[in-house]
Amino acid sequence: MIKIWPILIGCENLMNKFELEHIYIQKRMRCLKIMGKNRNELYLTNDELLFIKTAKMIEKDVERCDKNIPYFKNINNLNKLHHILLVHANEHIEMGYIQGMSDLLAPILLIMQSEVNSYTCFEYLMKKMWPRFPYNEHQNIYNDLLIEIIKVHKNILIRFWIMKCGKN
C-alpha cells in the first residue's frame, strides 16, 4: 500500500533519498528561523510577513485535524503534518496555503509515515492539483476589483488611451 502513493503521484524514484532528507531539513529549519524572527517584525521581509500569517492559518488547520484517527492523536505526527505544510507554504509563497491542503496531505502522511517522503509526495501532488485551486484568494479579489473599476471607468480609460496612444 505504501508503494502505490508515490507511483500514483509520480515521484516513486525520489523515495528514501538521503539528499532529499538533507534538503528538506534545511527548508524546515529556514521556516522555523523565520517564525523565530516573528518577535521583531521590523526586520521581516514582505515574504516573511506573509509566511508568518500563512503559518498561523496552517496551525489552525492542523489543530482541526481529525483526532479520531489514532495516528493523529500523537503530537509528533501532528507536528510532521504542520512542518510539511509550513515548508510547502514557504517554498511556494506565490501559491500560499489554502484551507484543505492539510486534508490532502493527511492520508499521504498516514500511509507513508516518513516526513520527508510525505513532503515529496505532497509536493508532486500539489504540482498536479494546483490548477484546481484558486490562484490566490487575495489575487482573485484584486482581479474582481480591477474588472469592476474598468467597467465603471471604461469610457475615461478609452479616452485616455486614445489621447496617449492614438486611435490605433
What confidence score (pLDDT) does residue 29 get? 92
Contact 105, 118 (CB under 8 A): yes
Q: Is the pLDDT of residue 163 over 90?
A: no
pLDDT at 62 over 90: yes
Q: What mean pLDDT do residues 72-94 have?
A: 94
Residue pair 126/70 in contact (Cβ under 8 Å)? The answer is: no
pLDDT score recorded for residue 80 = 97
Q: What is the pTM of this model?
A: 0.71
The grid coordinates listed for 96 are 500560499
Segment 116-137 mean pLDDT = 78
Q: What is the pLDDT of residue 49?
A: 85
Cβ–Cβ < 8 Å for 72, 106: yes
Q: How confident is the model over 35-50, as pLDDT tens digits?
A: 887 666 667 888 888 8
pLDDT value of residue 1: 47
In terms of Cα–Cα distance, which of 25, 27, 84 is closest to 55?
84
pLDDT band at 22 (very low <50, low <70, confident <90, very high): confident
Task: Return the pLDDT at 128.
Answer: 79
Ordered by where they begin, the domains of the chain are: 46-130 (1.10.8)
Give me the mean pLDDT over the 63-89 stretch.
Answer: 93
Examine the pLDDT at 142 and tell me if it is beyond 60: no
Computed over every residue of the chain, the mean pLDDT equals 79
Characterize 26-42 residue by residue with b for buried, 16 or more Cβ atoms within 10 angstroms of its Cβ, and e for exposed. ebbeebeebbeeeeeee
